[in-house]
Chain A
Amino acid sequence: MEHETTAELNQQADMQDEQYRPSERQLERERFRRARKRRNSWIATLCTLASLVAAVAAVVASPGWDRLHSRFLDGAEFRRTFSAVLDGFWLNVRMFLIAEVLILVLGLLIALVRVTRSPGLQPLRVAATLYVDVFRGVPTLLLVFLVGFGLPALQLQGTPSQPWVLGVIALVLSYTAYVGEVLRAGLNSVHPAQRNAARALGLSESQTLRRVILPQAVRNVLPPLLNDFIALQKDTALVAVLGPLEALRVAQIKADYDFNYTPYLAAAVLFIAVTIPLTRYADRLQSRGAQRTWAEAGQ
């Protein structure tokens, strides 16, 4: 109510009543809810335990278990090779970080080119569309081969020759196409009225984009964006085919040496250790986004 004074509102906000005692009915209700919650968590725990026991029993009872155990789950081998695989994994992390920054910048450019309508940019728009069509269609592993072996074969001045750099280029080419499309969907998801509102306030086209459209666009597509980055983090292992000593390549070398495949497990553990926190973070963002959408719905 616009006529309401601040003092009145404050008084409302501070409404308290010290005399309040929960009614017998409410106490009974809370007891029931607590009991139900306890029962549900018991059921959840029991079901989880039962499934776990069943799964372990099935694996251990299988005929190949002894071989599997000595070949893949060799504790001594794990400890012996883990630090070498970890060193290799550090290269995966660096490739990931460098590629991620490049992908975000280039993906945003692609998205912007594709959503603008100005006629002068038509050639760029066609090029961007073509790029996305081609590079989303080519399997990432194939792209790693093509760039890794094809680019050096061109013998152009200044092309990088280090395999990991070539690998990063291939990943950037592939993932920029995906991320560009995700960002484009985000830009399109912002209601046109928002742009009108910003322009009506006198913001320029680029200020409107930076201050109003883009923040909402990114917010809308954060979960799928994170999803793509989790996939990218794993796909840095594809660069192994070019030979740089990243986690998978190191594990491969160690495994070939004595036909004990435990180092692969070490590499897998490292990848999981990074992707699980990322996944949980993406989940959290998603549920927060959902709550915000509900709040905006106003009911």
Chain B
Amino acid sequence: MSEPPLRIRGLRKAYGSRLVLRSIDLDVAEHQVVCLIGGSGSGKSTLLRCVDLLDVVDDGTVHLGGTELTDPRLDASLARRQISIVFQAYNLFPHLSVLDNITLAPRQVHKVPRRQAEETARELLARLGLADKAQDYPDRLSGGQQQRAAIARALATDPQVLLFDEITSALDPELVGEVLDVVADLKERGLTILMATHEMGFARHAADRICFLEDGVIREQGSAEQVLTDPRHESTRRFLSRVLER
């Protein structure tokens, strides 16, 4: 293993005069699951959007393997083919069936033949427990099913890195489990995942590393065990006591 798939250095992002990310340094090694935690508004979504080039960074670099994604000479849509992001609000395309949602990018972007794309999509759906939903439209699915379909869509392009932005925050509590099970399964299969989450229980047993985001920097990072049970930093302790007391 030479270079980590994802390497972020000195990443800075402001919206107008509002400085959100000051200087983020973060590595995600191959087959690792890294969880981002932090208060609401601390910039977790902004960081993930910057990594997927949906926002232009103000300074710093993001490397995917040997490629600098933040290089303005790079064709952003080409670079993005290696990364998939799943949002809190699913963002499935309402005018397409689940199957067509999943095969859209493989067919349009990666030029996979229709038959092959649909075969892969059906395998994915079966793996995520949605085998019978292929022909349904998103509005006929429960929140948990929609989010699993969105994950299937993200996986369909065989990305090097997966980004999850609070993918369980919009779900009913009893549906959270089914989505987190999928993530745990992806970890078993050795995918590389960077995810923002509020699910501390999940982070504890699934994350290889936890990063606590505050004041535009990664205030503290370490193994899940260390950060959650023995945080070094006072502000991490305060944040954890706030979210864990619920």
Which chain A residues have a beta carbon within 8 Å of chain B's beta carbons?
1, 3-4, 9, 12-13, 15-17, 20, 22-23, 25-26, 29, 32-33, 36, 297-299
Contact = CB atoms under 8 A, between A and B. Distances in A.
B39 A4 contact: yes
11 contacts: A1-B243, A9-B41, A15-B19, A15-B216, A17-B22, A23-B10, A23-B60, A25-B61, A26-B59, A33-B72, A299-B54
Nearest to A29: B72
Contacts of A15: 19, 22, 215-216
Interface in B62-94: 70-73, 87-89, 91
A251 to B, nearest CB: 49
Nearest to A25: B61
A28 B73 CA distance: 11
Given A1-B242, A12-B215, A25-B61, A17 B19 contact: yes
Given A9-B41, A15-B215, A299-B49, 8 more contacts: A1-B39, A1-B41, A1-B243, A4-B40, A17-B22, A25-B61, A29-B70, A299-B54
Nearest to B87: A299
B59 to A, nearest CB: 4
Contact of B41 (A12, A22, A33, A298): A12
A35 to B, nearest CB: 10
B41 A32 contact: no
A26 B41 CA distance: 25
Interface of B: 10, 12, 18-19, 22, 39-42, 49, 54, 58-61, 70-73, 87-89, 91, 215-216, 242-243
Closest 3 CB pairs of A and B: A26-B59, A1-B39, A1-B40
A10 to B, nearest CB: 12
A23 B9 CA distance: 11
A23 B58 CA distance: 10
A20 B216 CA distance: 13
Chain B at the A interface: SS class: loop
B225 to A, nearest CB: 24
Contact of A3 (B41, B72, B87, B242): B242
Contacts of B42: 12
A3 B244 CA distance: 12
A290 B58 CA distance: 24
Nearest to B215: A15
A298 B89 CA distance: 8
Contacts of B89: 297-299
Contacts of B91: 297, 299
A111 B159 CA distance: 49
Contacts of A298: 88-89
A33 B61 CA distance: 16
A9 to B, nearest CB: 8
Given A298-B89, A299-B89, A26 B58 contact: yes
Contacts of A32: 72-73
A12 B42 CA distance: 8
A127 to B, nearest CB: 35
Contacts of B242: 1, 3-4
**Which of B12, B59, B88, B242 lies at the interface centre, i.e. has the most chain A CB atoms within 10 A of its CB?**
B59
A14 to B, nearest CB: 9
Contacts of A12: 41-42, 215
Contacts of B215: 12, 15
Contacts of A297: 89, 91
Contacts of A13: 18
A1 B215 CA distance: 15
A298 B39 CA distance: 18
Given A32-B73, A36-B72, A16 B10 contact: no
A23 B243 CA distance: 36
Contacts of A9: 41
Nearest to A21: B59
A26 B23 CA distance: 13
A296 to B, nearest CB: 11
A26 B60 CA distance: 7
Given A3-B242, A29-B72, A16 B19 contact: yes
A149 B243 CA distance: 78
A23 B68 CA distance: 15
A29 B18 CA distance: 22
Contacts of B61: 25
Given A15-B22, A16-B19, A23 B59 contact: yes
